[in-house]
Chains A and B, each alone.
Chain A
Amino acid sequence: MASAATAAGAPPGPAAPRGRKSVTGTRRTVAALFLLPALVLLGALVVYPIGYSVIRSFYGASGDGFAGVDNYRTLFTDDGIRTALKNNVIWVVFAPTVSTALGLVFAVLTERVRWGTAFKLVVFMPMAISMLAAGIIFRLVYDQDPHKGVANAVWVGVHDTFAQSSAFPRAHPGRESPLVAQNGGFVTRATVRPGQPVALPLVGVAPDQMPDGARKAVAARPEPGKITGTTWQDFTRGKGVGRLGAPDPSELGYAGMRIEAVKDGTVVASTTAAGDGTFTLPASAAGAHLRLPASNFREPYNGVEWLGPALVTPAVIGAYVWMWAGFAMVLIAAGLAGVPRELLEAARVDGATEWQVFRKVTVPLLAPVLAVVTVTLMINVLKVFDLVYIIAPGSSQDDADVLALELYRKGFAENQPGVASAIAVLLLVLVIPVMAFNIRRLRREGRR
């Protein structure tokens, strides 16, 4: 298995350390002096904490009573830690694989456009900024209000394209109205007859909530054999202006209002109002009551609660992928540059489709790089703290909890250093396989 470094071609791999003699006939004291600062700092700041954590994890909160494996038992009984463990599994499974898959797709596709470098720069850029800044960026993106958060603005836009959103929340009949409330909608008191225009006036829709298509309301003309009518906002500012129950020039039609003709509880005909509020129903509606169904008056669709308890972890993972897909892309692109073009060409000449070339040639050749990228991201994911801490609002931070955050909470907010140390040891145990893998790789390279 190639190292990321050799797969990427930079920097040069290590030369065999064995057999290389010191050029200078160094005295050992000089070597010790060169090494001393690094070894002292590493010993005091990295090695010592490992030992300390292991020992500390067997002691209680105050640090003077031996607690056996109590702290480790807490790992599996404490609600916060269990949520964190569960979320960490979700993180480790999804964040690295999604980032790597996206990186692979981007790396392969950017090879085909001339502005590939510019694209890579855009996707890679988030790696340079802090997780704090990324967190603030995504707090803005995930804002619940569709008028502020871009994620919900897009989501609601798409939703409303496919599902008619109700345009008239809080509309209701005014004085002397021919309409009465029924099941959240409104229905006419009297039945309708052809040739007699119907008026369906309501009030109460705020001017800025009127649909864009609304135009001046017009009284419907009678048409023989058909039911016609108008539905509009029968409200004009100022006293004594306009007439009640008839459209005035300053009043707007309820563009898009749905109207149903109901006979004995079944809908016999339906239509929607035009921009000026007028509508026409066929003769079959004669003798029916007209109903404005409840779907017209529901509160507008408000989008998804991204940072609510259910979606907060996927949402934060989304922010992570935004930051790290570029990392995967750059490493994979470097690996791709090392794939012999002749192999791909040969497959194409043999009649393979682009998809087959990708699936059967490119991906297997890149397997070592893909593995290194995925493993690297898995380690990285275990350490994720800032993103969760910043993006998850206080109300759902418990639901978004991860081990690194729980360690911080237990150790510094809840004053349980014993339990926090047990979490630290757990994190360490989780990275040991990778530690072993690094050492094996290095020793093999050393022997070459």
Chain B
Amino acid sequence: MTWLLEKINGGLVRVFLILVGLFWLVPTIGLLASSLRSPEDMSASGWWKVFTKPSQLTFDSYRKLLENGDITHSLWNTVLITVPATVLVVVIGSLAGYAFAWMEFPGRDWWFLGVVSLLVVPVQVALIPIAELFGRIGLFGSTLGVILFHTGFGLPFAVFLLRNFFAEIPRELLEAARLDGAGELRLFARVVMPLGGPAIASLGIFQFLWVWNDMLVALVFTKSGTQPITVALQTQVRQFGNNIDVLAPGAFISMVIPLAVFFAFQRQFVSGVMAGAVK
């Protein structure tokens, strides 16, 4: 009897999880299907009709989108913002993380606590002050300004994560390198950075996704020539319904890179998420 009950229970669990899984997939499938239909078909019927009429499938929306200079330019802007903002956070965060983990200076622990306390500061707090600051020093609207902003707000997490990871490096390794005559920079570049690989990977992926997916910061600090894909698409949302042939493929293209990163580096992403549960 219990055996039978367990069997039924197991079956129910499976059915439930399959339903939930479908429920989670359907919205994304809807976007993909919508992006592969013509605007005429979209205004006539729901995207699910594409499954009964596969002849509706068309790449026209994508072709038109990639011929649209504004969109391709904004995609390029996203890259121009994301890559430097990620590299800067990794490099600057590593330097500071290493100093906090292995160097002696007065008030070290207090400085570190100060950095950690900045983990939860909402970006919104900085929008108005930094907009005003950038306006004064001529960074408003520039790519560099957005990069700096993302770097600043990525640093608390970077320092927190890397300092904790670097602190676990065995002391003997560092001492041995020092005895071999390695200077501080050499030690950092040849020993600490390679050993910190896993944490640096987590951080890099996290920061990359955060910056790539950001809309708010770019909405405030970019202007028409420097705006990334999220802002370019956002301006289209106001006429939602008439331009689904831009929005659906545009949103999907903007998702491709994050999804590829996500699937390629799941493990690092997950450990980054866990370390960053406080952010």
Q: Footprint of B on A, CB under 8 Å? A: 3-5, 8, 10-15, 17-18, 20-24, 26, 28, 30-32, 34-35, 37-39, 41-42, 44-50, 52-53, 56, 106, 109-110, 112-113, 119, 121-123, 125-133, 135-141, 147-150, 153, 322, 327, 330-331, 334, 354, 372-373, 376, 379, 382-383, 385-386, 389-390, 393-394, 404, 407-408, 411-412, 417, 420-421, 423-425, 427-428, 431, 434-435, 438-439, 442-443, 446
B141 at the interface (CB under 8 A from A): no
Please name all residues of chain A whose beta carbon is closer than 8 Å to the beta carbon of B45 when the two chains form the complex. 147-148
Given contacts A15-B167, A41-B151, A53-B128, 9 further A-B contacts (CB under 8 A): A31-B105, A35-B99, A109-B13, A141-B30, A148-B46, A148-B47, A407-B127, A424-B124, A431-B122
Can you list 15 A-B pairs with a CB-CB distance of less than 8 A? Answer: A15-B167, A22-B102, A26-B103, A46-B155, A56-B128, A123-B21, A127-B262, A130-B212, A132-B233, A135-B237, A137-B30, A147-B46, A150-B27, A376-B279, A442-B113
B255 near A: Cβ within 8 Å?
A: yes
Q: Which residues of A contact B98 (CB under 8 A)?
A: 34
Q: Are B259 and A53 in contact (CB under 8 A)?
A: no
- Write out, one digit per residue, whether chain B residues 211-242 have a CB within 8 A of any chain A CB (1) or not (0): 01111100110000000001001100110100
Contact A52 B129 (CB under 8 A): yes
The one of A112, A113, A390 that contacts B237, using a Cβ cutoff of 8 Å? A390
One of B56-64, B65-73, B88-96 contacting the partner:
B88-96
Complex contact A136–B259 (CB within 8 A): no
Instruction: Give the number of chain B interface residues (Cβ < 8 Å).
Output: 117
The reply to whether the CB of B34 lies closer than 8 angstroms to some CB of chain A is yes
Q: Answer whether residue B148 sits at the interface, using C-beta atoms and an 8 A cutoff.
A: yes
Looking at the assembled complex, report how far the CB atom of A409 sits from the nearest CB atom of chain B, in whole angstroms: 12
User: CB distance A130 to B13 under 8 Å?
Assistant: no
**Cα distance, A153 to B49, chains bound together (Å):** 12
* Contact (Cβ within 8 A) A428 B129: no
B141, chain A: closest CB distance, angstroms: 13
Is residue B8 contacting chain A, with contact meaning CB distance below 8 A? no
Shortest CB-to-CB span from B264 to chain A, Å, is 11
Min CB gap A84→B, angstroms? 12
Q: Please tell me if the beta carbons of B255 and A130 are within 8 angstroms of each other in the complex.
A: yes
For the complex, give the distance between the alpha carbons of A135 and B269 in Å: 22
**B window 1-51: CB within 8 A of A:** 9-10, 13-14, 16-17, 20-21, 24-28, 30-31, 34, 42, 45-48
Given A411-B127, A427-B125, A331:B27 Cβ within 8 A: no
With contacts A12-B168, A37-B92, A38-B95 known, is A128 near B259, CB below 8 A?
yes
Give CA–CA (A423, B124) in the complex, Å: 9
B189 at the interface (CB under 8 A from A): no
Residue of B9, B24, B124, B165 with most chain A CB atoms under a 10 A cut-off: B124
Q: Determine the chain A residues whose CB is within 8 A of the CB of B47 once the complex forms.
A: 140, 148, 150
By a CB distance below 8 angstroms, the chain A residues around B165 are 11-12
Could you say which residues of chain A place their CB within 8 Å of the CB of B155?
38, 41-42, 46
Interface SS, B side? helix
A4-B277, A38-B159, A379-B120 known; A140 and B96 CB under 8 Å? no
Of chain B, the residue at the smallest CB distance from A15 is: B167
CA distance A56 to B153 in the complex (A): 21
Query: Are B92 and A10 in contact (CB-based, < 8 A)?
Result: no
What is the bound-complex CA distance between A197 and B46, given in angstroms?
43
Instruction: Indicate if the CB atoms of B277 and A322 lie closer than 8 Å.
Output: no
- Tell me whether B9 and A354 are in contact (CB under 8 A): yes
- Docked CA distance A30–B188 (Å): 12
Question: Is the beta-carbon distance between A23 and B178 smaller than 8 angstroms?
Answer: yes
Instruction: For residue B265, give the distance in angstroms from its CB to the closest CB of chain A.
Output: 10
The answer to whether B184 touches A150, judged by C-beta atoms less than 8 angstroms apart, is: no
A127-B240 in contact given A17-B112, A56-B129, A434-B120 (Cβ < 8 Å): no
Q: How far is the CB of A262 from chain B (nearest CB, A)?
A: 40
Closest chain B residue to A428 by CB distance? B125
